[in-house]
Amino acid sequence: MVDRPETPNARGRRWRLVIVAGLALIALAAIVGVALVHGASAPAHGTSTADTGGPAVQASAAVVMDADTGAILYAKAADQHLPMASCTKIMTALLVVEKVPDLDAYATVPADAVGQPGALIHLRAGDRISIHNLLLGLMVRSATDCAITLATYVSGSEPAFAQLMNERAAQLGLRDTHYSNASGIKIANHYTSARDLAELGRVAMRDARFRDIVRRVYATVTWPPDNSVRVHSHNILNETYAWVDGIKTGASKTARCCLAASGTYKGRRLIVATLREPNRRQEMHDALKLFAYGAAQPRETPAATD
């Protein structure tokens, strides 16, 4: 059995990020305090950051959404079309758990999955691997070979699966999203918006099998006869804070850093989505500010009934 532990250099980088995150938390109290003193209220659907007076973030687009109601609590360029990189895999995983009743079923790795760009677990054509292990590779390692194998298993080919992704996006009302593949590897006509990414995350987190996969920071992916790969998530936010329970990061030269994050901060379930952050450190710093801001907003009051 081959295990692939994290390198010391990688551990060092992660600890530096954790220290930075701790310093960022110190600033959160001041941010929340300012919002409360000025009586900040939840913005109307689709309003801009400038209109709401929310915290400044370096992401090109960002949204904070109430996970229970879908209300938008913060919006910056919420409907702008932007690349999403590996946040694409949120839809891929959601469709798999919706379409495959038995996650212990086995898929055969197609030749198209081998030698692709991006992260991999180094599957070989003809390998047999369970859907559950493919999902672990997909969402924890962000493996392209797992994405293509899952797409082929569900729809017969990756292009056919991309069509299914777009049909599901339309059903969910994701008007500013279009998929061209299952992995998010750079390709034309593949984009989302911060609002759509947050809503997709909100819907996906309702599924218990999806939640079980995306909460994981580490996993061991195995397949016959004796293959074993230890994988570690790039989601530092999920790794660092117990109140965060997923979901997915993405990064590419074009998309920069992307994030959809789910968490219960100070008793309020929230989804934060950021697109085109300059780096992972800024991504986490901005996400923490957005969680704090969202948790401080007044909750909606149910309409009175006769």
Integer Cα distance of 80 and 135 in angstroms: 29
Where in the chain does DSSP place strands (E)? 61-66, 72-76, 106-108, 128-130, 218-223, 227-232, 244-252, 256-265, 268-277
Burial (CB count within 10 angstroms: exposed 0-12, middle 13-18, buried 19+), residue 63: buried
Residues 6+ apart with CB under 8 A from 56: 49
3-state helix, strand, coil in the chain (%, to 5): 40, 20, 40
Q: Please report where in the chains the tokens 């079923």 appear, as a residue.
A: 105
Collapsing DSSP states into helix, strand and coil, what is residue 61? strand
The H-or-E segment that residue 171 falls in is: helix 158-171
Residue 188: CB atoms within 10 A of its CB come to: 6
| Dist. CA 86–CA 137, nearest whole Å | 13
183 is catalytic: no
Among 60, 76, 86, 155, the active-site one is 86
Known catalytic residue at 266: no
User: Which residues touch 294 (CB under 8 Å, ≥6 apart)?
Assistant: 64, 65, 66, 73, 74, 265, 268, 270, 272
Listing DSSP states for 229-257 in one string gives: EEEE-S-HHHHH-TTEEEEEEEEETTTEE
- 99 classed as catalytic: no
User: Which among 294, 274, 216 has a CA at the least distance from the CA of 85?
Assistant: 274
Catalytic residue among 89, 130, 233, 262: 89
Six-digit token string for 291: 């969680």
Instruction: Considering the candidates 60, 76, 130, 142, report the single residue annotated as catalytic.
Output: 142
* Cβ(78)–Cβ(50) below 8 Å: no
Catalytic residues: 86, 89, 142
